[in-house]
C-alpha cells in the first residue's frame, strides 16, 4: 500500500513517512517528524517537533502533537516525543515533548486511547494500553503505568504516579500517587478501594485478586505506621508478584505522597 498525501496537506522536507501512511486534508507534518507504517492522520492534524509516531496509529482532526511545551522554563532545547504503535488520539488531543528538566522526552505507549481534548504535558511517561478519557489533563512529569484508565474530566498534579491497572473516576483531582490496582474517586481523590472490575477484565484470577485485597486491607489499616505495615505485608505475601508490585511502588522514591483512603474506608 502506497503512502497517500492529500494535495492540501503540507509535509516538510526531512519528514520520514513509512509505508501506507495517510496524511489527510490540511494536515501539517514537520521536518523532524517520523510517521510509522500505516499511520493515518485525518484532516487538520499537526505533528511537529522531534516526534516519532509508531506504526498503525490513528490521529483525528485538530490534534496538536509535538508542539513546544507550555512549560515557561523551556528554551528551545531539542527534546523529543515518542508515540507507541497502534495508539489512537481523538479530536483536539494535545501531547507535548520533554524538557531539559525532565529527561528531554515525553512518551505515550502502545495501544493507548486518548479521547477528545485529552492533554499530556511535557516529560510525562504513559505506559501501554492506557485510556485517557475526554478532557483528561496530565500535568508535566506524570507517570501513568500500563493498563490504567483515567475517566473524563480528571486532572493529575505534576509528578504524580499512577500505578498499573489503576482506575481514576470521572472529575477526580489526583494530587498524590495512586498504588497499582487502586481505584480513586473524588474532587481531590482519595483511595476508595481496588480496581476489581479492571483486574477481572485483565484476566487476574480469583485467588490473586483475593491476595491483593488482603494486602490492601493490611496496608491501609490503622495499626502501626505505613512503613511498618509495608514491611509486614512484604513478609506475609512473598510469592505474590502483584503484592510485590504494590510494595515496590510504595517504597520507590516519589515527589508526591500516597493517595490514602478516607478514615474509616
When pLDDT is cut at 50, 70 and 90, the band that residue 124 belongs to is very high
What Cα–Cα distance (Å) separates residue 247 from each residue in 34, 217, 234, 238, 242?
38, 13, 7, 11, 9
* Structural domains of the chain sorted by starting position, each given as residue range(s) with its CATH number in brackets: 4-141 (2.160.10.10), 200-251 (1.20.1180)
**Interval 44-78: pLDDT, tens:** 999 999 999 999 999 999 999 999 999 999 999 99
122 is catalytic: yes
Contact by Cβ (8 Å): 181, 250: no
98 band by pLDDT with thresholds 50, 70 and 90: very high
The pLDDT, as a whole number, for residue 259 is 95
Confidence at residue 265, expressed as pLDDT on a 0 to 100 scale: 53
Average pLDDT, the chain: 97
The active-site residue out of 32, 44, 122, 147 is: 122
Whole-angstrom Cα distance, residue 131 to residue 167? 10
Q: Average pLDDT in the 223-248 region?
A: 97
Q: Give 212: exposed, middle or buried? Use CB within 10 Å, 0-12, 13-18, 19+.
A: buried
Q: Is 123 a catalytic residue?
A: yes
Q: What is the pLDDT at residue 139?
A: 98
Give the pLDDT confidence score for residue 81 in this predicted structure. 99
Residues 6+ apart with CB under 8 A from 172: 151, 154, 155, 184, 185, 186, 187, 189
Q: DSSP letters of 20-74?
A: T-EE-TT-EE-TT-EE-TT-EE-TT-EE-SEEEE-TT-EE-TT-EESPPPS-TT-
The CA distance from 125 to 120, in Å, is 9
Query: In which band, very low, low, confident or very high, does the pLDDT at 1 lie, cut at 50, 70 and 90?
Result: confident
Q: What is the pLDDT of residue 262?
A: 82
Catalytic residue among 123, 157, 177, 198: 123
pLDDT score of 87 = 99
Residue 259 contacts residue 189 (beta carbons within 8 Å): yes
Would you call 226 helix, strand, or coil by DSSP? helix
Total-model pTM: 0.96
Q: Decide if 262 is catalytic.
A: no
Beta-carbon neighbour count of residue 190 at 10 Å?
A: 17
Of 24, 30, 36, 140, which is the active-site residue?
140
**Region 101-128 average pLDDT:** 98
Q: What is the pLDDT of residues 85-96, one digit of tens each?
A: 999 999 999 999
Query: What 3-state DSSP class applies to 182?
Result: strand
Cell (9 digits) for 70: 507550555
The whole-number average pLDDT for the span 21-25 is 98
Amino acid at each position: 500500500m502506497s503512502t497517500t498525501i492529500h494535495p492540501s496537506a503540507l509535509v516538510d522536507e526531512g519528514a520520514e513517512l513509512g509505508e501506507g501512511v495517510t496524511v489527510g486534508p490540511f494536515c501539517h507534518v514537520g521536518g523532524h517528524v517520523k510517521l510509522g507504517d500505516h499511520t493515518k492522520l485525518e484532516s487538520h492534524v499537526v505533528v511537529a517537533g522531534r516526534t516519532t509516531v509508531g506504526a498503525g496509529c490513528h490521529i483525528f482532526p485538530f490534534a496538536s502533537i509535538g508542539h513546544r511545551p507550555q512549560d515557561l522554563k523551556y528554551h528551545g532545547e531539542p527534546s523529543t516525543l515518542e508515540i507507541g504503535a497502534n495508539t489512537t488520539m481523538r479530536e483536539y488531543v494535545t501531547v507535548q515533548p520533554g524538557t531539559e528538566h525532565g529527561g528531554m522526552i515525553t512518551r505515550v505507549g502502545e495501544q493507548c486511547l486518548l479521547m477528545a481534548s485529552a492533554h499530556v504535558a511535557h516529560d510525562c511517561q504513559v505506559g501501554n494500553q492506557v485510556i485517557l478519557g475526554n478532557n483528561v489533563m496530565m500535568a508535566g512529569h506524570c507517570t501513568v503505568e500500563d493498563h490504567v484508565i483515567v475517566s473524563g474530566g480528571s486532572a493529575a498534579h505534576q509528578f504524580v504516579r499512577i500505578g498499573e491497572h489503576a482506575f481514576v473516576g470521572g472529575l477526580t483531582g489526583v494530587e498524590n500517587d495512586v498504588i497499582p490496582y487502586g481505584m480513586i474517586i473524588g474532587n481531590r481523590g482519595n483511595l476508595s478501594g481496588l480496581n476489581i472490575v479492571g483486574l477481572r477484565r485483565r484476566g487476574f484470577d480469583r485467588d490473586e485478586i483475593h491476595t491483593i485485597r488482603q494486602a490492601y486491607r493490611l496496608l491501609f489499616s490503622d495499626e502501626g505506621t505505613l512503613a511498618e505495615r509495608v514491611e509486614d505485608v512484604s513478609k506475609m505475601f512473598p510469592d505474590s508478584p502483584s503484592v510485590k508490585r504494590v510494595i515496590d511502588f510504595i517504597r520507590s522514591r516519589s515527589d508526591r505522597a500516597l493517595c490514602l483512603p478516607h478514615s474509616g474506608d
